[in-house]
Structure 1
Amino acid sequence: MDIVILGLSITSSWGNGHATTFRGLVRELDALGHHVTFLERDVPWYAPHRDLPQPPYCRTELYADLADLRARFGRTVAGADAVIVGSYVPKGVAVGEWVQETAQGVTGFYDIDTPVTLAKLSAGDFEYLHPRLIPGYDVYLSFTGGPTLGRLEREFGSPCARALHCAFDPGLYHPEPMQAAWDLGYLGTYSDDRQPRVDGLLMAPAQRWPEGRFVVAGPMYPGTIAWPGNVERIDHVPPDAHRRFYNQQRFTLNVTRDDMIRAGWSPSVRLFEAAACGTPIISDVWEGIEALFVPGEEILLAESAEQVLGYLRDIGDADRRAIGARARERVMAEHTAGHRAEQLVAVLHEIAADTRPARTA
């Protein structure tokens, strides 16, 4: 198939998790024999941070604005077998309207931020998606599964809502023997609603266990945060350093934004990347996590600093490694980028079989 994706970014992983998702998915689509064109808005905050300016597995084009997009890529969009618009695309409503008017093939919305999107729609915030556009996309591809898919169809009129979770690249994420630098680490961009769980599940344990070694990595943390002396700060870990970062931790922390906790079934790519490295995960609790990992066997759940400290100090190395190994086995079987590419292709073929005759009648 000839597939066009209009996404937030594939060239820069700075301050966003979209790039790594698109890179893995597009690479695997290419490996399956499909041709992908990725269209990305040229914005100043990514321009100095492009760690993959020309991905080798797709045609990547930057556009300046909507007029430039329409003028240069109208034929590309019109002639594609499938056109997918991602969440948080600048001027995403106007981009979506143009795609639905122009594309002759299957159209889809790929929501890497589904709970955030739905919260914004409920608040009347139509930054990158308007409710009127949802019925016009042939398929709504959602990072969130579970009951949210039915809600997208019932309340918002999507003709077809399917889960397409994040994934990891097994070529990039795997165990490496190295000396542990930290007892517990966290990798994630700062957000106001996630920070209380970082405070409760990492900062508080660090304060109560001065001998422990902790790390928080990611951009945009306010300068007003008072970091305990045993918490190391790293401003940015590029994707090619994620594997080393996870392998240097005895345990890694996963915490979730409020909207995603409320929706459930919203795994972060941190879960899959860390599991692929065999690093045991301590996670906050949300509905649907048990569908991804077996609690107590493949993942450790925590709601308090006391629980976190219990894991860090009481679980021996053999048991710790066994938890990580079981989690790795699970994600290798179900959550690679290759699995996601196959799922996407199957959905697009299914939708095309249902919609193409109607489009050409």
Structure 2
Amino acid sequence: MTKKIAFYGSSLLSSYWNGAATYYRGILRALAPHGYEITFYEPDAFDRQSHRDIEPPPWCNVVVYPATPEGLRSVIPKAALADVVVKASGVGFADDELLAGTMAAARGDAVRIWWDVDAPATLAEIDGDAGHVLRRILPDLDLVLTYGGGPPVVAAYRSLGAPDCIPVYNALDPSTHHPVQQDGRFEAELGFLGNRLPDRERRVEEFFIRPAALMPDHRFILGGSGWADKDCPRNVAKIGHVPTSAHNAFNCSPRAVLNINRDSMASTGFSPPTRVFEAAGAGACLMTDAWTGIEMFLTPGEEVLVVRDGTDVAEALRMLDPVRAHAIGQAALRRVLKEHTYDQRAIEVDQILGRALATKSEELAA
């Protein structure tokens, strides 16, 4: 029997100021064939709809609602139509009202899930806030799923009263992220792609801008929204928002591409961003700031280069010839295809949902 999922998130259609887009797409595309009819509800906010990367796909119904109180009231009752109701973090409009409303509207036999795509930041936000709506609702939910975070996040959510917390890590969709020919627009010694965010900017200054200053004769390329007025060395090319359709070319063209975690994710660990798997899936030579748990996904020194600061970045680049860069990229590609695809994650999610639905049925029958 087909099971219906109502998924309330930031945006499936646009990655503009929305780093979770590829995660949502990968998980839900791979999950749909397991017997799920999915409807994704997203607000028309932050100019995302004019920066769509994709149109509504065949594997998911997409409802775009106005970012107004009336728009919110139009979609909250739809939760009652679903067997599984998911409210994701970081929707960006009336998050607390949406969480409380959808979970209250869900049927008694439905599985209610909080899916946190930035768990370290969420936990920091609610720390010490006894009246936070998530704290109040957590014990009444059926499950917490997270984008990452590993044992520290699992322990934190359980201590707050969540019945269970299971990380569902980012992964690769090989149909969208894969090796392509180099593109002259993106050729550089090092490329970094990420939006300008307060708890990332200091680390971008250290891991990307400082190495560029140390290597003035080499080209560095900075992609993502918000960097236009950032003071950078002259050898840094700021290219603005890069749509997902261009991510493969961006990842394949520089000598190496850099992952820089946000402060909260770096300190918590076990939180590989989607960019890690996108770059590895393109066969790029990936360099990442150091964080606990990286070896769960890629082997340092063989499948990824791990750096501690800007000096490390510059030194690693000076020692990185094209042959070694290619070897690291190919090793990473083999690893993620073997162990870290969204098809594999979808099997895991299907099993999680199956257990949760069975438990719910048993509870109601008792």
Structure 1 position 141 matched with structure 2 position 145: yes
Judge which range, 339-348 or 246-255, deviates more.
339-348
Closer/same/farther in 2, CA of residues 347 and 304 from structure 1, 3 Å limit: same
Which string of whole-angstrom CA distances, capped at 9 and with x for unpartnered residues, describes residues 146-196 of structure 1?
223432343211101000112231011112243671110000001222222
2:257 aligned to which of 252, 260, 265: 252
Aligned equivalents of 1:214, 1:337: Cα separation in 2? 31
Kindly state the Cα deviation for residue 220 of structure 1 after the two structures are TM-superposed: 1.4
Specify the SS of the correspondent of 2:63. Answer: strand
- Tell me which of 179, 182, 205 is aligned to 2:211: 205
Q: Which amino acid aligns with 1:241?
A: A
Deviations 1:79-109 (A, max 9, x none): 3221111001222222222222222211111
Measured in 1, the distance between the counterparts of 2:95 and 2:140 equals: 14
Change (3 A) 1:80 1:185: same
Specify whether residues 73 and 55 from structure 1 end up closer, same or farther in structure 2 by C-alpha distance, changes over 3 A only.
farther
Letter in 2 for 1:350: R
Residue 239 of structure 1: how far off its partner (Å):
0.6
Residue 101 (structure 2) aligns with: 98
Q: Identify which of 276, 282, 291 aligns with 1:286.
A: 291
Q: Is the 8 A contact 1:152 1:161 kept in 2?
A: no
Give 3-state SS (helix, strand or coil) of 1:249's partner: coil
Q: What secondary structure does 1:109 align onto?
A: strand
* CA deviations over 1:7-45 (Å, ceiling 9, x no partner): 111122111112222122221122334210111122253
Q: State the partner residue of 2:169.
A: 165
Matches within 5 A, 1:1-361: 1-43=3-45, 45-64=47-66, 65=68, 67-71=70-74, 74=77, 76-89=78-91, 90-104=93-107, 105-122=110-127, 124=129, 130-178=134-182, 181-221=187-227, 223=229, 225-359=230-364
Tell me if structure 2 keeps the 8 A contact 1:116–1:259. yes
- State the Cα distance separating 1:203 from its structure 2 match: 1.5
Equivalenced residue count is 358
- Preserved CA contact (<8 Å) 1:11 1:53: yes
Aligned equivalents of 1:125, 1:253: Cα separation in 2 = 38
Deviations 1:250-270 (CA, angstroms, capped at 9, x unpaired): 101111111112211111111
Once residues 192 and 217 of structure 1 are traced to their aligned partners in structure 2, the CA distance between those partners, rounded to angstroms, is 16
- Identity across aligned pairs (percent)? 34
Give the ranges of 4+ consecutive aligned residues of structure 1 lying more than 6 Å apart after TM superposition: none
Deviation at 1:73, TM superposition (A): 5.8
Preserved contact between residue 120 and residue 153 of structure 2 (Cα < 8 Å): no
Q: How far did 1:226 drift? A: 2.0
What's the CA shift for 1:277?
Answer: 0.8
Q: Deviations over 1:209-267 (max 9, x none)?
A: 122111010111261x2221111101110011100110111101111111112211111
How many Å separate the matches in 1 of 2:139 and 2:337? 35
Distance 1:272 1:83 in 2: 27
> Are the aligned partners of 2:154 and 2:167 in contact in 1 as well (CA < 8 Å)?
no
Distance change in 2, residues 1:283/1:360 (3 Å): same
Unaligned runs of 5+ in 2: none
Question: What CA deviation, in whole Å up to 9, does each residue of 1:58-78 have, x standing for no partner?
Answer: 11112234554444562x422
Check conservation: 1:247, 1:277, Cα contact below 8 A.
yes
> What SS is found at the alignment partner of 2:189?
strand
2-structure distance, mates of 1:11, 1:234: 22
Please give the secondary structure, in 1, of the residue aligned with 2:199.
coil
Q: Are the aligned partners of 2:227 and 2:238 in contact in 1 as well (CA < 8 Å)?
A: no
The alignment's C-alpha RMSD in Å is: 2.1
Equivalent AA in structure 2 for residue 7 of structure 1: G
CA contact (8 A) 1:108 1:140 kept: yes
**Offset, 1:316:** 2.5
Q: Deviations over 1:309-331 (max 9, x none)?
A: 22212122222211111111111
Is the Cα–Cα contact under 8 Å of residues 179 and 248 in structure 1 kept in the other structure? Answer: yes
Runs of 5+ consecutive residues of structure 1 not aligned to the other structure: none
Distance 1:333 1:125 in 2: 43
